[in-house]
Amino acid sequence: MDYNIDIFSNYNGGDTMAIWKCANCGAIREGRCKPRKCAECGASDSFKKEEEKK
Ligand SMILES: [Zn+2]
C-alpha cells in the first residue's frame, strides 16, 4: 500500500507539515513525510519538499 500513515500525535516529537511536489508531474501533496510514490504519474521517489507548513 502506498499510504502515508498519519499519526497525529507524538510523531518525531513534532507537528510540522510540509508541502511536497512531484518533480515529474507537479502534483502537490501535503504531509509530514515524503510520499514514496506519486499517485498521479506513478513515479517513485519523485517528491521534493516545497515548503514547510506549521
Ligand atoms: Zn507525479
1 within a domain of the structure (yes/no) = no
48 within a domain of the structure (yes/no) = yes
- Longest alpha-carbon distance in the chain: 32
Q: If you average pLDDT over every residue of the chain, what do you get?
A: 82
Is residue 37 pLDDT above 60, yes or no? Answer: yes
Query: Measured in angstroms, how far is the CA atom of residue 20 from the centroid of ligand 1?
Result: 10
Number of structural domains (the chain) is 1
Best CA proximity match to 31, nearest among 4, 12, 54? 4
Regarding predicted confidence, which is higher, 15 or 42? 42
Judge contact between 19 and 53, C-beta under 8 A: yes
Query: Measured in angstroms, how far is the CA atom of residue 37 from the centroid of ligand 1?
Result: 8
Q: Structural domain of residue 32, as residue ranges? A: 17-53
Query: Measured in angstroms, how far is the CA atom of residue 35 from the centroid of ligand 1?
Result: 10
Grid cell 502534483 is found at: 27
Rounded Cα–Cα distance for residues 40 and 10 (Å): 30
pLDDT at 3: 58
Q: Could you count the other beta carbons within 10 Å of the beta carbon of residue 46? A: 20
pLDDT at 42: 97
